[in-house]
A and B are shown apart, each in its own frame.
Chain A
Amino acid sequence: MSARRRRTRFVWDAIGLALFVVISFPVYWMIASAFKPQDELNGLTPTWIPLHPTLSHFRDAMNRPFFWDGVKNSLIIVSVTVALSMVLAFLAAIALAKFRFTGRSLFIVLIIGIQMLPQAGLIIPLYVVLARYHQVNALSGVIITYMTFVLPFSVWVLRGFLLGIPKDLEEAAMVDGSSRLGSFTRILLPLVAPGLVATSVFAFITTWNEYIFARVLLNDQSKQTATVWLSYFTGTSRNTDWGGLMAGSTLIAIPVVVFFLIVQRKIAFGLTSGAVRG
């Protein structure tokens, strides 16, 4: 490497590092603030690192009313939504990836179109429908609402993963005398398993993060989800408990961040696989 080249590489690295600091700073600041004692938080001069780290904010946040209710409700809603959606979406994805049929384009337009609906405009009519089925203020109502938003997305991503499987493999299995079902369970399912995991984790994140519908559809505090709990945290506008708020935020963000780190690459691939290949 010539001296000039090394110098330009150094400049790029410096810019890259600066960007890293700017982009990850909000996340750092959230975690750092959660560990700071009250006087460090309220001081006019911010302390960049918590000098006397404390866990009291985390204790406060967890002891606040309805925190564990929120976590429990979120977990129930998320796991049921994800499990049901994956089964249904996988079936539909097989139809899209492996069959040609009349109405296929229409189904694709439906799948993509739903993801573009302005959700705010749907809240009130959705509320009316769910009230008619007695599903307002019930976790099942939120679950089925989330499914309508998780399903189209999951069908689309799973379709991408299924298309990634070489046709020859399946055909080879058929020639070897397996039935269609046999080739499905022995060849297709193991190959698409990573895709299923990635999609369900992404569905987990979307559902866990959702806020607007949960806020509108669940009135009881004992029935609210973790994100709704966080939004009620602030209290009076004059006197916000920033330490507790940041501790609560950290607690709610942790599961999402951990899962996300595991699958982000696969999801980016699944979302654009059709486009790259076309």
Chain B
Amino acid sequence: MTTSEIPGGTALAAEAALRPRRRRPFTFARVLRAAAPYLLILPVVVVIAAILGYPLYHLARLSFQKYGLFELIARHGTDVGWANYSSVLHDRVFWDVLVRTIVFTVANVALTMGVGTLIALLLTKVSSIVRVLLTAGLVLAWAMPPVVAVQVWLWMTNTENGLLNYTLTKLHVGDYFQHDWYATSFSQLSLTTSLIVWGAIPFIVVTVYAGLSQVPHELVEAAEIDGARAWRVFKDVTVPIIKPIFLVLTSLSIIWDYVKTDFGRGAAISILMLLIVAVLSVFYVRKMVRTSHEAT
């Protein structure tokens, strides 16, 4: 980059001065420099390969084997080719669970992204005291360990004297006295969704808000002076600028929420799930690899 600023002659001279150095034969220092990045990533690769490499291989192999009680005693499976896969793919339960998982994931991601973006936009409108309060509340929710959050949710929704039943009855939403939220799978899934969304929103809000604050004020003001209404300003000025963040966040949410809703059992199902996540995440990986190349 800097050479282009120097007038041509000097640049050539500078390059000529460098050239003999570059043609140096193999030296220890040069070999070391070429090997440096590999040496740097080696420990990470070794740890991951040692612990995850074999399980993945084992999982893949197991998915082509019959491995029942008899095989467990004999300590080795019998190869059955694609039989596990075809039995899983022909299993109605698998498709039911798959459809339910997809619906559940789509609902979670749509809710998280929608509500999260709305709250981020709200943060740009409120006075600074409310902004600090709301951010603090979000961070509290974000920081709660999932195991703890689950216990708090169970306590608030318990049948005998749960707070949710009491509040809903008091507000005349209906008679929820001793209502069992875990009786039907629908209300159970709804509670799970509310828990996931509650835990996932803060990250979205903080990141989208950070993106929103990068939108230059001059652009918004210029658009307003030109007579653009709030919606137009949002659509034509704000959205294009925060779009990259938005896309990355959506794919991240899909991956995280999907990984949370694992109903699958068995090696073949695990492999299929892996493939689904892989397909879903192609966009995210491509984007990250590309930006990583541009950044250096």
Contacts and interface: CB of A to CB of B under 8 A. Distances in A.
Nearest to A115: B255
A154 to B, nearest CB: 9
Interface in A127-144: 128-129, 144
A92 B47 contact: no
B152 A205 contact: no
B274 interface: yes
A27 B198 CA distance: 11
A245 B201 CA distance: 26
B296 A44 contact: no
A30 B163 CA distance: 12
A253 B206 contact: no
Interface in B28-75: 36-38, 40-41, 43-45, 47-48, 50-52, 54-56, 58-59, 62
A180 B130 CA distance: 48
Given A144-B47, A252-B145, A20 B130 contact: yes
B52 A122 contact: yes
Interface in A195-247: 205, 208-209, 211, 227, 230-231, 233-234, 240, 242, 245-246
Chain B interface size, under 10 / 10 to 19 / 20 to 34 / 35 or more: 35 or more
A99 to B, nearest CB: 4
Given A16-B126, A92-B41, A268-B210, A30 B148 contact: yes
Interface string B144-160: 11111101110110100
A278 B287 contact: yes
Given A16-B122, A46-B161, A231 B147 contact: yes
A274 interface: yes
A183 interface: no
Contacts of A61: none
Interface of B: 36-38, 40-41, 43-45, 47-48, 50-52, 54-56, 58-59, 62, 119, 122-123, 125-127, 130-131, 133-134, 136-149, 151-153, 155-156, 158, 161, 163, 166, 198, 201, 203, 206-207, 210-211, 214, 244-245, 247-249, 255, 258-259, 262, 264, 267, 269-271, 273-274, 277-278, 281, 284-285, 287-296
A122 B58 CA distance: 10
Give 5 nearest A-B pairs by CB, closest first: A121-B270, A278-B291, A125-B55, A24-B137, A260-B143
